[in-house]
Structure 1
Amino acid sequence: MKQLLAVLWLVVAPWTSAADFTEGKHYKTLTTPASATPEVVEYFSFYCPACFRFEPLASDLKQELPDDVFHRIHVDFLYYVDSKSRTRLPETALMLSKALAMAQAFDIEQEVSASIFERHFIARDKTKELGQLQADFADHGVTTERFMAAYDSFSINSKARLMQQATRNHNIRSVPTVVVNGRYEVIPNGLSGSKNIAEEYKKLVQYLLALPAE
């Protein structure tokens, strides 16, 4: 049923004609296999200020697309770096990937993501230890015991590893990056001259969803 809704959405959604979007300017075709079903994947990091600014558009995409089409993957190449001592904590990237996987499993992804982003870029308190994430989840009803049980579980560790694998398979080097149907990567700079970049971005995603798998 959800696959049928996805197809119907692609048919009725108003999108700009193919002539308005150009490969190499607005998107590039990847060598990775096409996804079996329609999907829009945002690669991002909670440590990325541009990803924080992208959140409203990401939220719009998720709401406007059919269920189970929009997904997010947390990358592992950005992590906590102390602004004064320059001490690096690369393990924090995995901590946050697991936090995203847990939030998705608990069906509180939007709420937890907002808490982490706001703490990082409004309160300026970036994640450097697990206790900060425990507090974020506690704000949304997850006890410390439940948090730790999930954090150490096989399923959450597996999901975090799959995020790492997808990041490498699609050669993601910067964030936020959006990949459509496993084959098409959006080039945001191609929309820089648009009067309404957010709307044009969404039209571009719709257009890429409708492209045939190659």
Structure 2
Amino acid sequence: MKRRDFSLAAAAAVAGSATLLAGLPARAQTQAPQAGKEYMQLAQSVNTAVTAGKIEVLEFFWYSCGHCNNFEPVVAAWAKKQPADVVVQRVPIAFQQNANYIPLQKLYYTLEALNLVDTLHIAAFETIHKERKRLNSDQAILDWATSKGVDAKKFQEAYNSFSVANAVRRATQLQDQYRVQGVPSLAVAGKYYTDGTLTGSFSRVLEVVEYLVEQERKAG
């Protein structure tokens, strides 16, 4: 989902996601991506949340975004194959400060706080896109979580906690700093931003990210 929509080429690329992932090299072997065309370099770097020697990759997403739903299994599988110096983190976005976005930001960080991302992150996408149920209110999200066997009190405490509220504020700050125009999109090392509209396909997005990671690795 974008302020400007993804290209049809990007959407079509997801249909072949299994083939896409299998064909990705460890590092891009195609023509080197061009700055300003397939990725943007920030005028001012953003502080990262990783230790020295690590390279941060951020995945910006929104649970209600159909493209994000399709891309998530691809990027998740890709992330698992990255070397130890690459740290991939998800960032739920909010293009508007309303119920379509903020509860879903809080949902992700609540799952993270309760160590339930591996169990329920994909389930949240499936609830919205396969079961066609809306998770656009605090109560709807609580009901969903309890239906998945999560203790209601623990979920509510985490959902309404300062740490989750702070994480949501940080996510929106990152979104603004990277000037995110839509999702899914990725950022690298506090310096670079790319998405399917810039590259033309999801597979190329990941190739561009791998290229940028390698440039950071070489720079030391």
TM-score normalised to the size of structure 1? 0.76
- Structure 1 residue 22 corresponds to structure 2 residue 34: yes
Q: Which residue of 2 aligns with 1:205?
A: 209
Q: Please tell me the residue identity of whatever aligns with 2:80.
A: Q
Q: Which residue of 2 aligns with 1:58?
A: 75
Q: Give how far 1:18 is off.
A: 7.8
2-side partners of 1:185 and 1:19: how far apart?
Answer: 18
Per-residue CA deviation, residues 125-177 of structure 1 (Å, 9 max, x unaligned), is 12132233223323554211001111111111111111111111111121111
- Structure 1 residue 151 corresponds to structure 2 residue 159: yes
- Structure 1 residue 104 corresponds to structure 2 residue 112: yes
2-side partners of 1:28 and 1:18: how far apart?
Answer: 19
1-side partners of 2:93 and 2:139: how far apart?
Answer: 21
Q: Please tell me the residue identity of whatever aligns with 1:102.
A: T
**SS at 1:20 equivalent:** coil
Q: Give how far 1:22 is off.
A: 1.8
Q: Give how far 1:50 is off.
A: 1.0
Contact 1:102/1:151 (CA < 8 Å) preserved in 2? yes
Per-residue CA deviation, residues 28-58 of structure 1 (Å, 9 max, x unaligned), is 1112315364111011111111111111222
Higher alpha-carbon deviation: 30-39 or 104-113: 30-39
Q: Which residue of 1 aligns with 2:175?
A: 167
- Structure 1 residue 31 corresponds to structure 2 residue 48: no
Contact 1:180/1:205 (CA < 8 Å) preserved in 2? yes
| Structure 1 unaligned spans of 5+ | 1-12, 80-89
| Structure 2 unaligned spans of 5+ | 1-24
Q: 1:14 to 1:77 in 2, by over 3 A?
A: closer
Question: CA-atom RMSD, angstroms?
Answer: 2.6
**SS at 2:55 equivalent:** coil
State the identity as a percent.
Answer: 23
1-side partners of 2:44 and 2:90: how far apart?
Answer: 18
TM-score normalised to the size of structure 2? 0.74
Instruction: State which of 166, 175, 185 in structure 2 corresponds to 1:177.
Output: 185
Q: 1:110 to 1:132 in 2, by over 3 A?
A: farther
Higher alpha-carbon deviation: 47-56 or 179-188: 179-188
Q: Which residue of 2 aligns with 1:127?
A: 135
**SS at 1:171 equivalent:** coil
Instruction: State which of 49, 70, 73 in structure 1 corresponds to 2:88.
Output: 70
2-side partners of 1:171 and 1:157: how far apart?
Answer: 21
Max radius of gyration: which structure? 1
2-side partners of 1:20 and 1:117: how far apart?
Answer: 33
Q: 1:15 to 1:47 in 2, by over 3 A?
A: same
Q: Give how far 1:16 is off.
A: 2.6
Q: Please tell me the residue identity of whatever aligns with 1:56.
A: P
Q: Please tell me the residue identity of whatever aligns with 1:74.
A: P
1-side partners of 2:148 and 2:81: how far apart?
Answer: 25
